[in-house]
Chain A
Amino acid sequence: MLDRKIFPTIEEAVHFDLQLKNCDRFTLDNKVPVYAMNAGAQDVVMVEWVFDAGNWYDKQPMVAATTNFLIKNGTTSKSAYQINDFFEFHGAYLNRSCYNETASITLHCLSKHLETLLPVVREIIETSIFPEQELGIYIQNQKQRLSVNLQKCDFIANRLIDEYLFGINHPYGTYSNAEDYDALNTDLLKAFYKQYYLNGSCKIFVAGKMPTGYESMLNKAFGTLPLHADAPVVVEHPVVTASQKKVEIINDENGVQGAIRMARPFPNRHHPDFQKAHVLNTLFGGFFGSRLMSNIREDKGYTYGIHSYFQNHVHASAWMISTEAGRDVCAATIAEVIKEMEILRNEPVAQDELDLVRNYMIGSLLGDLDGPFQLIGRWKNYVLNGLDENYFYKSIETIKSVTPEELQSLANTYLQPGDFYELTVI
């Protein structure tokens, strides 16, 4: 008779021997580095051009983001429509994203079309023209989108908490206002483009089932551009934290939920505490079985979800707790978060719970290493943060070996409610 109360035997994930598949590296004629993960069963590829062109280099708000967005909206020989139609005809996706330090252009396509598509990506990087009309449409639509977003409590909360942590003039703390869009003009975009894209510092990441000869395809299209691999000029931005720690805002009188954000400054990935704190964070609010989820969602039912995480910045991070809770239980939710911090400070985590977290983290890491796109994503993260595979192996070692005492001591250092901003936006 089958006894369903007995767990099937498992192989503990902490005993797995995880290996990070190496990526191929080579440089184009102009020294631009290429990182490649040539693998996968499906005939698809991804190419990402990463420029040191994030809002870290803004001299005026929104210039970096707008340049990135409009870079494919017209070249000397093609209109925005013709460019879009060309990629869409081949079933390809050409996206762009602007982050804090970097900004990128990303191509996803079937392997068989790569050779046809690359020259047009080159054309965009080499001859983008930023038409007045495209900027006008963009400004109008972004302002409209902003007006809708400003009604959302979570949107407001995300903006304000970053401002408290870093200051409104810091790239991590800044956010868009309608006036910033109005102040944009095409000369600003063209100058930014020329410095940070056309003559910019660039890294290329490729993954998927690469067609034969893709190395020379890349070199032919991008190796002769004035791109380079030099580090950008160092720009410093002073962090200015807010003095008031607790803030409550009513954005919508009729709101039925409040967006809660609690956050404290935290060092970047190079800090010796970072990886251990990652384990503590997982335990605290980093997965479905975390203390915050178990208590505040699964026991109290105050929210659909509550999470804690480290913000993904290069220079500095922040430890953040984020949730949307019923309007009448916002205060109770904050009280429970504080209580969970206190428990982590006062009591060492039980071995059994820590074992579960370790296994969960390793299992999830194993899943994250599955597939070429995931693998290149991890490598990209390491490269852009000045890390290498040692970070990966050290992080596994930390997950396997961190002790309850170490976690408790970290909790005492970092999970002090007084160090956290506490923001509720209704």
Chain B
Amino acid sequence: MIQFDRFVLDNGLRVLVHEDPSTPMAVVNVMYDVGARDEDPAQTGFAHLFEHLMFGGSINIKDYDEPLQRAGGENNAYTTNDLTNYYCQLPAQNIETAFWLESDRMLSLAFGEKSLATQRKVVCEEFKEHYINKPYGDVWHKMRSLAYTVHPYRWMTIGKELSHVENAKIDDVKNFFFKHYRPVNAILVVAGNVKLEQVKRLAEKWFGPIEMGKKYERQLSVEPLQTEARKLEVEANVPLDAFVKTWHMDARLSPGYYAADLLTEILGGGAASRLYQTLVKEKQYFSSIDCYHFGSLDAGLVAVDGKLVKGVSMENAMKAVDEEIEKLKATKIETKELEKVINRTESVIAFEDMSVMSRASSIALYELLGDASMMNTEFQKYQAITIDSIHDYANKIFANTNSNTLLYHAQ
């Protein structure tokens, strides 16, 4: 059970406080309700580029990192398709420094041309390092645009192409900031060796004067139900044949989400999971195989991906994958297998909750989803899943018409 308090400033900023006197540190976590899904299709990669610019100086403070480091702190940030999260950890005595820094960059950035010019280059290098200069680096670019036709999940957070990042202009940056980076679209979580009253006072002092801004109303195109299996085959300069296959699953808050999560565990969670045991160990068709999903807030994808053992034909390998999926649809899982994936989930939650930083970002995420207290009932939702509901859900999503297959052939 994670305890927290919650209050809202007049400007709409939601503030959550999690006291943990056992640590000497404090964590300040600011989550903005904007991700790559909120981008213009002609300007993809912008939410992530923007995350970089948030470190390029704010209206009153030339440099974000330096004062934080001087206060003994460290920080980082990440952007997903759904949200952008900034977090810093510092000795609890110096927590006001974090309020000062985070509030100033919520008030306004400096919008320096130099920072934009440099970060465009840095992000382009990040793009190259992770997605171009790596074997199989473009797999998810291709898969996303295959699986989604209208929903903005069809591009990755890094962006659809380098040129979108290269062409970003300072006016675009300003517009993006004042549209999304307002108190009313943000959640502040303060955790660690802090007191509620202290956080109230500091939040009022530093964040209180910031203009509320306009609530961003998300209106994304809903991905229509897929009615036909899709398939894409590519050839590339890689040593091994590989594949990714995906099926559409339910959104984060739907009951189906929990069933999908357990299904990925059954298929790919660990060396005794079904796909690994059958296809890597017994049949030896694959040298690696995984099953996972991204925890997307809107309707996401269940994915299976693997690399084929040299000499195995793509056709036989894919048939073997389909057989495992069909087994799940035809035969209900045993009680023991359900118990196993529930136990694994219990363990994952316990380990995640070890660090204050991770507790702080969980609180922010559940608040973004509507109510931070959901984090304390999450495990019960998994416990409520039955053998029958897993079976029904497997039959619902693992329909061939709901599938997208990318076959990646070695040249």
Contacts and interface: CB of A to CB of B under 8 A. Distances in A.
Given A10-B70, A110-B346, A359-B72, A152 B135 contact: yes
A13 B118 contact: no
A324 B129 contact: yes
A13 B91 contact: yes
A370 B134 contact: no
Interface string A189-221: 000000000000000000000000000000000
Given A85-B272, A359-B69, A370-B24, A324 B125 contact: yes
Nearest to B336: A89
Interface stretch (A37-45, A56-64, A309-317): A37-45
Interface string A4-33: 110111110100100000000000000000
A38 to B, nearest CB: 14
Contacts of B346: 91, 110
Contact of A42 (B74, B239, B343, B353): B353
B125 A303 contact: yes
B107 A4 contact: yes
A209 B399 CA distance: 45
B270 interface: yes
A356 B66 contact: yes
Given A257-B128, A364-B72, A141 B288 contact: yes
Q: Which of B124, B271, B309 has the most CB of A within 10 A?
A: B271
Contacts of B96: 8-10
Given A256-B132, A356-B70, A363-B73, A301 B125 contact: yes
Interface in B64-98: 65-67, 69-74, 89-91, 93-94, 96-97
Contacts of A304: 122-123, 125-126, 129
A88 B269 contact: yes
B73 A92 contact: no
B91 A91 contact: no
A144 B287 contact: yes
A359 B71 contact: yes
B125 A148 contact: no
Contacts of A97: none
Contacts of A289: 65-66, 69
Contacts of A81: 272, 277, 281
Interface residues of A, number: 71
A255 B339 CA distance: 48
A338 interface: no
Contacts of A355: 70
A298 B328 CA distance: 51
A320 interface: no
B209 interface: yes
B227 interface: no
Contact of B118 (A7, A151, A301): A301
B339 A10 contact: no
Interface string A367-399: 101110100000000000000000000000000
B97 A148 contact: no
B327 interface: no
B288 A44 contact: no
Given A91-B343, A359-B70, A2 B209 contact: yes
B72 A13 contact: yes
A138 to B, nearest CB: 10
Nearest to B133: A257
A110 B350 contact: yes
Given A92-B347, A152-B134, A4 B354 contact: no
Contacts of A10: 70-72, 93-94, 96-97
A339 interface: no
A89 B343 contact: yes
Contacts of A140: 284, 287, 309
Contact of B72 (A9, A42, A362): A362
A175 interface: no
A326 interface: yes
B310 interface: yes
A253 to B, nearest CB: 10
Leading 3 A-B pairs by shortest Cβ distance = A363-B72, A301-B121, A91-B347
20 contacts: A5-B60, A7-B67, A13-B94, A84-B272, A91-B343, A108-B351, A110-B346, A140-B287, A141-B280, A141-B288, A145-B288, A148-B239, A150-B239, A151-B135, A151-B239, A254-B237, A289-B65, A326-B125, A371-B354, A373-B354
Interface of A: 2, 4-5, 7-11, 13, 16, 40-44, 80-81, 84-85, 88-92, 108-110, 137, 140-141, 144-145, 147-148, 150-153, 252, 254-257, 287-289, 297-304, 324-326, 355-357, 359-360, 362-364, 366-367, 369-371, 373
